[in-house]
Structure 1
């Protein structure tokens, strides 16, 4: 089953169920990304925010709050906050990675410049903190501020570990938990926090987001070697950027002398030649690391679904279960 196989996808079902809330989130995003003095800010922001993203992270916040019985206005502020944090990190990531494509479109740093991308990202972080404060909850501020710090920490860890063939699976999961899962888990947890849920329920929401985020990133990393550019990436981007993801880490651990020399040349030293990507993929196939990594992605999706056993019953709950299955269906 591919991303396009299902007639009605779980994220589309969520969007339909949360349509009124999402409309309010989109209106608030447009309002807060405005700038009286610097028109480039809304130009750059709109390029990403309105590029057809699924709004998955803000939908998690809205769903968690609604599932927990919240009927106030501030879940909308929190969902907008989560989307601003996500957009800011994408702007910064594309500069760091020197990316040229995002969601199938040219990146902001390519259309404008690196300086604009970094500064607009900073502006969105500032706006996100303003939105957090408006909820009046120090605990929410703590959760989201910690998530923002964890995301940056994960990105820095990836910088130091990316081309180091000694990088372990444990370090890889730390990177993934930082750069991807931290915002998924925070998005879920703040939904429970604004709804006044007990500690156990908030932990379950956090656990769902954490496991979903890890599964989501593992799948993205698999797709980089798996022949699909439906996610807006070119196949082999991670290889060309010398990023050690789980399939490669496992292949390096099983490498013979010739394979080890290949990984040292292409990943550690960055000397890549025509045909190297295809050879890398053949090594992954030889050692079965794509399949073993797929099994891990499925296991993380199962952990996400299990966490939902501890949250209130609600129509949205099944949609979140289906979402976890859908994330890994891309590689099933």
Structure 2
């Protein structure tokens, strides 16, 4: 019975409205917001990056449940924006939460599904008996070039999950993946901002892979959309997850709780983990959760999850801020302040 032992998310306080970005570039902010379904996005503080977000998410997870850091045998951090090209984020997270020396630690990168890939790895290590607990984190300070369409959605945030088989609060019944070489989005070494393949972003990238993994998961489990209480899909905007949910047969109320993009933006590797955290904030024993991530390049990871009685007895959900609390705790920036926070403009010394 491998599953989620505890969880925690972290979202920076700062926000910028899509209207503010559009105003600078002479675009129609209302039209862009309505088209993407994203009205504002999170922005990191001056001293925040994907590493500090990962540390805060992991600390929030451990605040909810008394897990001995010495029992954590693996730490995997998935991100498109690791602060170092050569130096792991994962070991710094381990040091910060008191889990070093750790048996295995690594940084993952598979575009926006690197966090869910970490969950799969931790599941395998726990099931094999090699470790007691593993920590999987999806964390990003997403990049978007000035005036590019990505600038309206590229956000900051992440979530951490402790995976184990000791009274999990949510059992992961099964997982599967669907991947192909589909170059819809990329960033070469040394480039500050990613590029995207335009028409490839929807079909045959996002929709093909999300549907491929989702159908495979339901075929394996013998389930249909109506069997699930909640569903979370990767959310580069609010339009794509709503459309793919409808294509698969899920209803709007099933994705509502986990759809954070309208108020958060796209946190890349953190998008599905934050959405799942939002669902776990309110889930009840017996609730069934369907999850499908997506990473450009391209691939999707799907999960079938059942919430257990332990969510009421083994963790204190109030010991760390909920996703809803963090979404409502915000400070708005103008474009100049946002550009400074994001390093788009720097002071010459």
Task: Give the TM-score taking structure 1 as reference length.
Answer: 0.31
More strand by percentage: 2
Instruction: Pick the structure with greater CA Rg.
Output: 1
Which has the bigger relative contact order, CA under 8 A and spacing at least 6? 2
